[in-house]
Chains A and B, each alone.
Chain A
Amino acid sequence: MSMRVLHGGVLSLLQDAGRFGAHRLGLTNGGPMDFEAFHYCNQLLQNMPDCCAIEISVGGLQLESLVDTWVCLTGAEMPLLINDQECERWCVHPVAAGDRIRVEYAGRGCRAYLGVADGFRIPPYLGSASTVMREGVGGLNGVALQRNDQLPCQANVRRRRLYLPLSEQPRYPGQATVRVIPGYQQRHFNRTEQRRFFGAPYAVTERSDRMGYRLSGSAVRCNINGVLSEGICHGAIQIPPDGQPIVLLNDRQTIGGYPKMGAALRTDASRLAQLRPGDTVHFAAVTPGTARRILSLEQRFTLRKTLREH
Chain B
Amino acid sequence: MLPSLSPTMQCVGADALMLYFGDEISAATGAQVHSATALIDAHLGNDVVDLVPSYSSLLVIFDPLQFTHVEMTRRLRAIFQREAAEPSTGSRVVELPVYYAAETGPDLTTLAREAGLAVAEVIELHSAREYQVFAIGFAPGFAYLGELDERIARPRHASPRERVTAGSVGIADRQTAVYPADSPGGWNLIGRCPTRMFDPEGDPPMPVAVGDRVRFKPISREQYLALGGTLP
Which positions in A face B, CB cutoff 8 Å?
20-27, 125-126, 134-137, 181, 183-184, 227-236, 253-256, 260, 262-263, 265-266, 288, 291-292, 295-296, 299
Contacts of A233 in B (CB 8 A): 12-13, 15-16, 59, 61
> Are A236 and B12 in contact (CB-based, < 8 A)?
yes
A253 to B55, CA, bound (A): 16
Query: Using Cβ atoms and an 8 Å threshold, which residues of chain A touch B195?
Result: none
Smallest CB separation, A174 vs chain B (Å):
25
- A184 nearest CB neighbor, chain B only: B12
Q: Using an 8 Å CB-CB cutoff, how does the interface string of B127-168 with A read, 1 for contact, 0 for none?
A: 000000001111111101000000000000000000000000
In the complex, whether B54 has a CB less than 8 A from a CB of chain A is: yes
Q: Are B52 and A181 closer than 8 Å at their CB atoms? A: no
Query: With A20-B49, A26-B137, A26-B139 in contact, is A230–B54 under 8 Å at CB?
Result: yes
Q: Tell me which residues across on chain A come within 8 A of B61, comparing CB atoms.
A: 20, 23, 233
Q: Is the CB of B228 closer than 8 A to any CB of chain A?
A: no
A236 to B141, CA, bound (A): 22
A sample of 22 inter-chain contacts (CB < 8 A) reads A20-B49, A20-B50, A23-B52, A26-B138, A125-B200, A137-B140, A181-B11, A181-B13, A184-B18, A228-B23, A229-B54, A229-B137, A230-B56, A230-B59, A231-B58, A233-B13, A233-B16, A263-B16, A266-B15, A292-B14, A295-B64, A299-B65
Q: Which 7 A-B pairs have the closest CB atoms?
A: A231-B59, A231-B52, A263-B13, A255-B137, A183-B12, A233-B16, A233-B13
Task: Point out the residues of chain A lying under 8 angstroms from B12, CB to CB.
Answer: 181, 183-184, 233, 236, 260, 262-263
Task: Pick from A21, A23, A262: contact of B13, CB below 8 A.
Answer: A262
Is the beta-carbon distance between A228 and B14 smaller than 8 angstroms? no
Q: Which of B68-84 contact A (CB under 8 A)?
A: 68-69
Q: How far is the CA of A25 from the CA of B57 in the complex (A)?
A: 16
Contact of A253 among B18, B65, B138 (CB under 8 A): B138
Given the contacts A229-B137, A230-B54, A24 and B209 also touching, CB distance less than 8 Å? yes
Interface residues of B (CB under 8 A from A): 10-16, 18, 23-25, 49-59, 61, 64-65, 68-69, 135-142, 144, 180-181, 198, 200, 205-206, 209-210
User: Which chain A residues border B200 with CB–CB below 8 Å?
Assistant: 125, 137
Q: Which residues of B contact A265 (CB under 8 A)?
A: 14
**Which has the most chain A C-beta neighbours within 10 Å: B13, B18, B53?**
B13
Across-interface contacts of B55 in A (CB, < 8 A): 228-230
Name, among B10, B18, B137, the residue most crowded by chain A CB atoms within 10 Å (CB to CB): B137
Interface of B is mostly: loop
**Contacts A229-B135, A288-B14; A25 near B59 (Cβ below 8 A):** no
Residue ID in chain B nearest A256 by CB atoms: B137
A235 near B13 with CB under 8 A, answer: yes
Tell me, rounded to whole Å, the shortest Cβ–Cβ distance linking A157 to chain B: 29
Q: Which B residue's beta carbon lies closest to that of A263?
A: B13
CA distance A157 to B51 in the complex (A): 38
- Decide: A21 near B141, CB < 8 A? Known: A183-B12, A299-B65: no
CB distance from A120 to the nearest CB of B (A): 20
Q: Which residue of A lies closest to B55 (CB)?
A: A228
Cβ-defined contact, B14 with A25, below 8 A: no
In the bound complex, CA of A137 to CA of B51 (Å): 20
B57 to chain A: closest CB distance in Å?
Answer: 4
Q: B25, A228: Cβ atoms under 8 Å?
A: yes
A228-B55, A254-B137 given; name 18 further pairs at CB < 8 Å. Answer: A24-B52, A25-B140, A25-B141, A25-B206, A26-B198, A181-B12, A183-B18, A184-B10, A231-B54, A231-B59, A233-B12, A235-B14, A260-B12, A263-B13, A266-B14, A288-B11, A292-B64, A295-B64
Quick one: closest B residue to A19, CB to CB? Answer: B50
**In the complex, which residues of chain A have a beta carbon less than 8 angstroms from the beta carbon of B65?**
295-296, 299
Residues of A near B58 (CB, < 8 A) are: 231
Most buried by B among A125, A232, A255, A299: A255
Bound-complex Cα distance A288 to B14 (A):
6
Q: CB distance A295 to B14 under 8 Å?
A: yes
Nearest-neighbour CB distance to chain B for A117, whole angstroms, equals: 27
**A265 (CB) vs chain B CBs: closest residue:** B14
**Beta-carbon nearest neighbor of A287 in chain B:** B11
Shortest CB–CB separation between residue A242 and chain B, in angstroms?
17
Which of B15, B144, B181 contacts A234, CB < 8 Å?
B15
B143 CB, min distance to chain A CBs, angstroms: 8
**Which one, A135, A184, A291, contacts B140 given CB within 8 A?**
A135
Bound CA–CA A255/B50 (angstroms): 13
Contact B140 A26, beta carbon cutoff 8 Å = yes
Interface centre among B16, B142, B198 (most CB of A within 10 A): B16
Nearest residue (CB) in A for B205 is A25
Contact B51 A23 (CB under 8 A): yes
Closest to B183 in A: A134
* Minimal Cβ-Cβ distance residue in B for A136: B181
Shortest distance from the beta carbon of A161 to any chain B beta carbon, whole Å: 30
